[in-house]
Structure 1
Amino acid sequence: MNTPKSRILIADPDPDVSETLQLYFSANGHETQTVPQANDIIKTARQWQPNAILVSTELTDKNPYQICRELLEDTLTAHIPIIMLLHLDERYVRLEALETGVDDIVTKPIDIEELRLRVEAAIRLSTLRMQV
């Protein structure tokens, strides 16, 4: 099920990954915006108000887990679902991401269709929570 005109913020330092995700989500009816650095995520999220944020653990200019905590503590962004893109499929990495409070995790290499379905599910749940 497609969630039309949902906004997805993609934060990944790899331009190939960002472009692939941007093209795929756009082709599936979503608006997308990319940021290559962690320092741009909060500012962009506050201004653009996406319906979901994808955050790569490969961001190096700031700790991606800290960025997620800041997004979850900010009243302007706390309602936005966050999905972390993990570069390692190690238990400690998955646990650290989940302990941060993110809504979901996906391990690279990314199954793009699975990611889309997870993003759309997170957006649906977020929309339902906001209606209650």
Structure 2
Amino acid sequence: MSGALILVADDEPVARELITNYLARDGHRLHTATNGVECLRMARELLPDLILLDVMMPTMDGLETCQRLRADPLLAEVPVVIISTLDDRTSRLNGIAAGADDFLTKPIDSLELRVRVQSIVRLNRYRKLHESRRELEVAYDALQ
């Protein structure tokens, strides 16, 4: 399986570097954003396979960014993983309620990050294949 296109949005340079270094080992193509506004702009340009999104960022926090991603028809199906130093139940539930597909806490465990990313990317590829197959079936039926 070739590497996924992943957008990492985090205002902390060290966190961005750690995450990109961990995921580069698996051949992923990585792009970074430093805030929510930049993340939204880049997501529209790149159409990534996955977005890793820090909660606490300037300009627009990760929860609002996630909600805006979900409201954008072009980006609504892109998997989002919230990454946060907040580890309480309420924070995790707020992330999921905002539309995140998963939630990871900092400090990030490299193996857990890599395994979760691999799983989410694989499931998203299956979803896209299923959608393509369904579209082909509809087109085929229309030709009959």
TM-score, with length taken from structure 1:
0.93
Contact 2:82 2:104 in 1 (8 A): yes
Tell me which residue corresponds to 1:34.
Answer: 32
CA deviation map 1:13-53 (0-9, x unaligned): 11011011112211220000111111101110110111100
1:75 equivalent to 2:73? Answer yes
Identity score, percent:
32
Per the TM alignment, residue 9 of structure 1 is displaced from its structure 2 partner at its CA by 0.4
Tell me which residue corresponds to 1:88.
Answer: 86
Q: How many residues in Structure 1 have an aligned counterpart in Structure 2?
A: 130
Tell me which residue corresponds to 2:117.
Answer: 119
Matched letter for residue 72 of structure 1: R
Name which one, 1 or 2, has greater alpha-carbon Rg. Answer: 2
Tell me which residue corresponds to 2:107.
Answer: 109
After superposing on structure 2, the runs of 4+ consecutive aligned residues of structure 1 that deviate more than 6 Å are none
Per the TM alignment, residue 63 of structure 1 is displaced from its structure 2 partner at its CA by 2.6
Greater per-residue helix proportion? 2
TM-score, with length taken from structure 2:
0.85
Return 5+ residue gaps in structure 1 as ranges.
none
